A and B are shown apart, each in its own frame.
Chain A
Amino acid sequence: MGAWTVLQERQAMLLDPAIRDWVLIPIMIVMVLVGIVRHQVTVLLNGTPKKADLKSARETKALQRGGILRAHGTHLPEHAFEARKTFLSDAFEKGTYEKDPNASSKPKGNVMQDPAYVETMMDGMKKNMMNIIPQTVIMAWINFFFSGFVLIKLPFPLTIRFKSMLQRGIETSDMDVSWVSSLSWYFLNLFGLQSVFTLILGSGHAADAMRDMQAMSTMGMGAAAGPQMGPTGQPADMHKIFLSEKENLDLTEHEWGLENVEMRVLVKYGKLPRSVLVDYKKAKSLGSASSQSASSPSSASAQIAAAASSSPAVTAGKKKGRRQV
């Protein structure tokens, strides 16, 4: 307790009001203004959004189609599901839905000669430049003129862990953590001004530092409009993606959601006890287990047996599919 008051008294520093008027507030104003200018310049540079291509839209939607069938196929009766499954896996294998069905057979040229690819790269570059240049300039300005300044004291105590965040550029070990250095003030503004920008520029503005940071970490990755990129930044081989989706589809077993719907309705209206549903589930799992051991030739149990025995293969195949994607 005593030590605390001593520390308090020792650090009863007074800041010159001129620091507030000539450093603290100007840094904030400059950052707001730069953010606004950046927004305007980005709008100028972006120009018209790139027109989507009908064939690439078809390509993505077709992939989605496989996913939807896998996820929501339970709502379909058996025959409908199987028909779709066969159709889609056939189409995926043949590449009916691909933008360029013969792309995989052609030898891969230099990606840098593909204008669409270069354009997306340039777009990413432009955006990154718009982010990096103003931030570097401001940081250099602050470092040059105000390095080592203490600008403001936060009105609440903080633990020592915040020291590296709030006192960047000041190498003292004893100063109370609630004092904020000039460089840290810059960082606080960089991340804290977002709602101010939203207020001034409306939502979806381009002055968003956080979003740019994310964009930087995924630099050069194609946006939704651009051609599909693989993890290495190269355009992905769509045929391979389609093939892995086909594999996923082939391994999906149909499970019909309406198999015991009559029972469920009867339970819902209280005509049957709720336990019937539990019994049904048990009977079903038991049935599949017993039919696996018994080698009965009937089609239904054979199917179930096939399903049961292929289930390890399903998971293995899925993992494989993931890897390929």
Chain B
Amino acid sequence: MVNAAKLLQDLRASAERKPDVVVRLGKPLIDSGAVMKLDADAWLVYEQVAIAALDVGDDVLAHKCIQALEAKFPGSARVNRLNGMKFEAVGKLTEAAAIYKAILEEDETNVLAAKRQVMLLRAMGLPTDAISALVKYLDINYTDFEGWLQLADLYLEELMYGQAAFCMEEVLMLQSQNHIFHLKYAEILYTQENYQLALKQFCRVIELCKDHVRGLYGIKLCTSRLLKSAPSKDATATSQEDLKAIDLLATERLIAVYSANGAASTKSISTKWIECL
């Protein structure tokens, strides 16, 4: 019981979304009523379990949690948002939209409701509306890098790579140490056929995360394109010797990674792929 509470707290702190784990840990706590022993933390657990239960489709548990929260905090916007999410989970999107709208009318700075509204538009299949709503949101809450990531995704779905790249640049400024974001930016650049820049970004991925296979593949793709094309006149471009060296390095690392831990078949496939470039 103490361990479960501790684990739930850790999950809350790290903001990981593991609904199955949360429900498994939280359900006995709430059913047995032991959760009330946690004092002030109890309500955080209720909220956490409610969202997790919605994620895994346990509507009964979610309903129970939300009811408990409503009894404790009547008229709270945060609880009301959970109600909206409950409607979303069962597919009643218009009801959910009404709830979010009411919350925002009450308090226009409610970030959670504003974000839900955007996702609701996305779920309704209105990506353009979702984009404009999200742009409006980000104009105010500039520092929300998750919002920028979401916007990049939306733009990618619309095949608007330039805009998506812009969003990823914002993410890079806000969260510069995460190699996954650098990777995403690099891949967008590659798709835009900006191989020079993409190569540098892929290199950055490798610099931040050693032997990142997807980054190594990216380097291979870029170098093979750049080596085939005429050498660039641009002074800032990577020199031919560097290109060759980095190409060699990527090949070497890829083969090394697959020989160390991979089935013989994957290794032969990756070797063949490299030869094909």
Q: Which A residues are in CB contact (< 8 Å) with B249?
A: 265-266, 269, 271
* Complex partner residue of A57 from B140, B204, B210, B245, CB under 8 angstroms: B140
Let me know if B142 and A265 touch, CB within 8 A: no
Q: B166 in the interface, Cβ–Cβ < 8 Å?
A: yes
Let me know if B173 and A76 touch, CB within 8 A: yes
User: Secondary structure at chain A's binding surface: helix, strand, loop or mixed?
Assistant: helix
Interface positions of A from 14 to 58, Cβ below 8 Å from B: 51-54, 57-58
Shortest C-beta distance, B213 to chain A (Å), equals 15
Let me know if A262 and B139 touch, CB within 8 A: no
Shortest C-beta distance, A150 to chain B (Å), equals 43
Q: Which B residues are in CB contact (< 8 Å) with A272?
A: 245
**A54 to B110 CA separation, bound complex (whole angstroms):** 9
* Complex partner residue of A61 from B143, B169, B206, B245, CB under 8 angstroms: B143
Let me know if B203 and A80 touch, CB within 8 A: no
Q: Which A residues are in CB contact (< 8 Å) with B169?
A: 76, 80
Q: Which residue of B lies closest to A298 (CB)?
A: B235
Let me know if B203 and A261 touch, CB within 8 A: yes
Q: Which residue of A lies closest to B235 (CB)?
A: A300
Q: Which A residues are in CB contact (< 8 Å) with B166?
A: 80
Query: Of B5-13, B88-96, B193-201, which binds chain A?
Result: B193-201
Let me know if B235 and A72 touch, CB within 8 A: no
* Complex partner residue of B108 from A54, A65, A300, CB under 8 angstroms: A54
* Complex partner residue of A51 from B107, B142, B143, CB under 8 angstroms: B107
Q: A64 in the interface, Cβ–Cβ < 8 Å?
A: yes
**A62 to B140 CA separation, bound complex (whole angstroms):** 8
Q: Which B residues are in CB contact (< 8 Å) with A269?
A: 249, 253
Q: Which A residues are in CB contact (< 8 Å) with B207?
A: 261, 264-265, 268
Q: Which B residues are in CB contact (< 8 Å) with A75?
A: 172-173, 176
Let me know if A262 and B174 touch, CB within 8 A: no
Interface positions of A from 177 to 212, Cβ below 8 Å from B: 202
Q: Which A residues are in CB contact (< 8 Å) with B200?
A: 77, 258, 261-262
Q: A68 in the interface, Cβ–Cβ < 8 Å?
A: yes
Q: Which residue of B lies closest to A77 (CB)?
A: B197
Q: Which residue of B lies closest to A84 (CB)?
A: B169
* Complex partner residue of A263 from B107, B108, B242, CB under 8 angstroms: B242
Shortest C-beta distance, B264 to chain A (Å), equals 25
Let me know if B174 and A258 touch, CB within 8 A: no
Let me know if B109 and A73 touch, CB within 8 A: no
Let me know if A262 and B199 touch, CB within 8 A: yes
Q: Which A residues are in CB contact (< 8 Å) with B76?
A: none
* Complex partner residue of A64 from B40, B142, B172, B236, CB under 8 angstroms: B142
Q: B224 in the interface, Cβ–Cβ < 8 Å?
A: no
Given A263-B242, A264-B207, A266-B245, do A57 and B143 touch, yes or no (CB 8 Å)?
no
B-binding residues in A (CB < 8 A): 51-54, 57-58, 61-62, 64-65, 68-69, 72-73, 75-77, 80, 202, 258-259, 261-266, 268-269, 271-272, 300
Q: List 15 contacting pairs A-B, 8 Å CB cutoff, sorted by A.
A: A51-B107, A53-B109, A58-B140, A72-B172, A72-B173, A73-B173, A76-B169, A76-B173, A202-B40, A262-B200, A262-B243, A264-B203, A264-B207, A265-B249, A268-B207
Q: 9 extra interchain contacts, Cβ-Cβ under 8 A, other than A62-B142, A261-B207?
A: A53-B109, A61-B141, A61-B142, A61-B143, A75-B173, A75-B176, A264-B207, A268-B207, A272-B245
